[in-house]
Amino acid sequence: MKVLAINLSLIISLSNLLQIESLSHAGSECGAQLVESIPIGLTYNSTIISKPTFDGLIGLVSSANSSIEIASLYWTLQGSDVMPHPDNSSLEGTKLLNALIDSSKSRSVKIRIAVNEGNLSDNSTDLALLKGLAQIREVNFNRLLGAGVLHTKFFIIDNKHLYIGSANMDWRSLTQVKELGIVLNDCQTLANDLSKIFEVYWYLGVENSTIPKQWPQELATDFNATNPLSISMNQTDYSVYLSSSPKPFCPFGRTNDIDAILSIIENADKFIDIAVMDYFPIFLYQKNTHFWPLIDNALKSAVIDRKVSVRLLASHWNHTRESMPIFLHSLAAFNDKKLFGATIEVKLFVVPAFTPFQASIPFARVNHNKYMVTDKTAYIGTSNWSADYFVNTGGVGFAITSKNNTSAEHNLRDDLQSIFQRDWDSSYAKYI
């Protein structure tokens, strides 16, 4: 009976996709905007003002008329989920949670949440408050793959609007942690493609589910690194695709996330700028450490073989592992243009705690974003850069390449490049 229940769940999920398939090829103009969470007190000598992550997410949830799908690692949107005496910086998380509750109660919006099993805070009541209002499934990576977590962070609204980025379902991700993502409006084809990734999580969230040897054809995609989707966003033409990890979670046609990253690195002609919290060419969470130099080799090859300059902005905070500077120094050793014809520069970004209260917030005050921008492509992901995140952990990436419209005012690659340059030049970033 359990097998029948799992198969029935997949059939129902696929029928949802088929219902919107006829709409998914509508060539309407998409709206796209980068969103950021800038921790309270962090200021720049810069004119760049991004839309806050909270504004982007609350706008999406408030606009929902029929459905909301959320893929998430954990839920701590209320201040009391994290600490006994939070301050007002937790209120945005509470507002987002209340907006989700209201969407179900007042507008009968169907909510589905895929969350990592075992990452529910002992103090968190967020999902309990959504009980009866949302369908919730927990994905057990230990059972499915022997390791890993669902580290993905995305929203799909009404099968046409979406968010992908680094922000967790956590009030700290709105006001106390530096995050970056993208909000897309009226992008039915792209939302439908992201829905296929969500349906993989949804299927695997059924008790005793197993990873199929071959995923159903309905979950296959036509859009990938070799055949990207042509789409107009903000009156600019782009080639885009969604990538996913781990590889066993990728139905036919889906580009594996690490392959997307390597492809973007290998196709860069002039420069590669990377902002990521953790950078390790090893497995971090296995009992026995193993070397995993795929990204390391690609970056060094870009410098030596193609004279492409690389800048890496990693993060330093209370929980940075002692070994990370060792690996970063091995990259920074290539900062010699005379010798190599190009350079690798490495900086660490620190988000200070400006008050005793900020210092007391657990797991906060860090640059948590995960993106890359080259002279050709912008990439926004949900994974840190170590082997585990690509081999046995759930994550997604969004790759965007403009199609010869580089002079457009709202070119997303240029916007992301400006954000990177702002952070790189700031007083919070120091050479390793």
Q: Find out whether 388 and 288 touch, Cβ atoms under 8 Å.
A: no
CA atoms of 384 and 365, how far apart (whole Å): 17
Note whether 42 and 429 are within 8 A (CB): no
Task: Identify whether 375 is a catalytic site residue.
Answer: yes
Q: Where is 143: in which H helix or E strand?
A: helix 141-145
Which residue is it, tokens 């970063």? Answer: 328
Longest distance between any two alpha carbons in the chain, whole Å: 68
Catalytic residue among 151, 178, 196, 347: 151
What are the phi and psi torsion angles at 170 (to 5°)? -150, 130
Q: Known catalytic residue: 151?
A: yes
> Catalytic residue among 87, 102, 237, 375, which?
375
Q: Which residues contact 189 (CB under 8 A, 6 or more apart)?
A: 24, 25, 26, 229, 231
Secondary structure (H, E, C), 186-244: CCHHHHHHHHHHHHHHHHHCCCCCCCCCCCCHHHCCCCCCCCCEEEEECCEEEEEEEEE
CB 289 within 8 A of CB 424: no
- Residue labelled with tokens 């954990």: 74
Question: CB neighbours of 332 closer than 8 A, spacing ≥ 6?
Answer: 344, 345, 346, 431, 432
* Catalytic status, residue 95: no
Which of 126, 153, 170, 273 is flagged as catalytic? 153
Catalytic residue among 81, 126, 158, 170: 158
259 is known as an active-site residue:
no
CA torsion, ordered 83, 88, 89, 91, to nearest 10 deg: 90
Hunting for tokens 């088929």 — which residue is that? Answer: 18
Give yes or no: 161 in active site: no
Annotated catalytic residue within 178, 300, 347, 368: 368
425 is catalytic: no
Q: Of residues 160, 178, 300, 370, which has the active-site annotation? A: 370
- Those residues with Cβ within 8 angstroms of residue 379's Cβ, 6 or more apart along the chain or in another chain: 260, 261, 264, 371, 372, 373, 397, 398, 399, 400
CB-CB neighbours of 210 under 10 Å: 12
Please identify which residue in the block is written with the tokens 């009391």: 80
Chain centre distance of CA 117: 19
Q: Which residues, at least 6 apart from 421, have a Cβ–Cβ distance to it below 8 Å?
A: none
Phi then psi for 382, rounded to 5 degrees? -125, 5
Catalytic positions, written as ranges: 151, 153, 158, 368, 370, 375
